[in-house]
Amino acid sequence: MTDPGLYPLALRLAGRRVLVVGGGAVATRRVPALLDAGAEVLVVAPRLTPALRAYVDAGRVGWADRRFEPSDVDDVWLVQVAVDDPVAAAEVSAAADARRTFCVRADDRFAATAWTPATARHGSVTVAVTAGGDPRRAVAIRDAIRDRLADGTLPSSHLPVAGQVALVGSGPGDPELITVKGRRLLARADVVVADRLVPGLLLDELGPDVELVDASKIPYGPSRAQEEINRIIVDRALAGRFVVRLKGGDPYVFGRGGEEVVACARAGVPVVVVPGVTSSIAAPAGAGIPVTHRGVAHEFTVVSGHVGPDDPASLVDWPALARMRGTLVVLMGLKNLPAITATLQAHGRSPKTPAAVVQEGTTGAQRVLRSTLGEVARAAVAEGFRPPSVVVVGDVVHALDAGGTGPARAGAAAGRGMFGA
């Protein structure tokens, strides 16, 4: 059946009542967008999915625990029929028609008075596509447009970004693990100030007119280098350019992102922070190690190991960590791994505690070493492990081995993980 002819329209639903009939999977998909539009949503259904029940429990959605009644359509601006029973759906349609209220039907779009298009959101831009009654074709077109908006090949002036800074976490190493918002802002950048751990393929996508500042090559010691990075970010923004400070992992997880936000605030430069997927969780996950696992670990602690346990500058309570039963994740700790493991054992952690090292997690160069707390430092040296590496200590190292789903078995075994070649 061909498209009968549609009149495209965007609805302002804020503060207006919308009726959703049905509490299953279709309703679960439709309700979030209605809430995002500010609608007052009433769901009529004898049963709800757990996701919908959570909205009800939070007071965000009203619920009538019963079957549909024609009077439910009274004072409603829009009806969404989310049931697969054509007889029940037709009853709702008839009630909506009688009250001149538009009705969307999940079971039969051609029997409906309104259609829900394939939709994508890109900042303030909303793309809605219909394709003559062919939802698969509409989704394919929608996805193509969304992807071009995300990678910047289809321009979108949705943000007044001149003179602003975006502090963006690029994720643990796989370029596809940057967030959608991070990639969108990166596509709009005039200047990109990038760390050493930023995925190189993200930089390869930058336009020819984008100024790239390699922050890893800025001279001086760590403090002076950070001051210079702050100066570059602020100066470029004050010159009216949109600056993306691109950092590995998450900007606030040992990324000195707070210092850069403070520098921008002091200079009166607007800044937005876009969180990133932190390697403290993603690198173990990429190696088949969950940092928590039912019946194994109910907590995990992330610490920096760039300062040794015996260094007066260390802020980590290593004896307390040794007494904990949960998972310990150490970032930037490979150089100090002998001292770290010795300190943990000296304060009570068993040398037989499983331990792992994940090098260049989530990338094609990922390597994984499984060992024990007593042997992991020696094994890491013997196997030639190098930064960037994440160290994991705890029983979760072998949590998936029993089912054979872990990428490596127990013992001091080194090799490529799930993302390896």
The letter for the amino acid at 178 is: I
CA quadruple 336, 325, 405, 373: dihedral positive or negative?
positive
Distances (CA, A) of 137 to 101, 131, 143, 145: 28, 6, 10, 13
Own/partner long-range contacts of 69-75 (Cβ < 8 Å, ≥24 apart): 69/44, 70/94, 70/95, 70/98, 72/19, 72/21, 72/42, 72/44, 73/19, 73/98, 73/99, 73/101, 74/99, 75/17
Tell me if residue 195 is catalytic: yes
Please pick, among 217, 247, 250, 401, the residue that the annotation labels catalytic. 217
The Cα–Cα gap between 128 and 173 comes to 33
Beta strand 211-214 with 125-129: parallel, antiparallel or unpaired? Answer: unpaired
Please pick, among 72, 107, 190, 195, the residue that the annotation labels catalytic. 195
Question: Does residue 184 contact residue 289 with C-beta atoms inside 8 Å?
Answer: no
Give the other-Cβ count within 10 Å of 202's Cβ. 20
The Cα–Cα gap between 37 and 31 comes to 10
Closest residue by Cα to residue 357 from 298, 316, 415: 415
Closest residue by Cα to residue 198 from 175, 167, 227: 175
Tell me if residue 217 is catalytic: yes
Beta strand 354-359 with 367-372: parallel, antiparallel or unpaired? Answer: antiparallel
**Which residues are catalytic, by number?**
195, 217
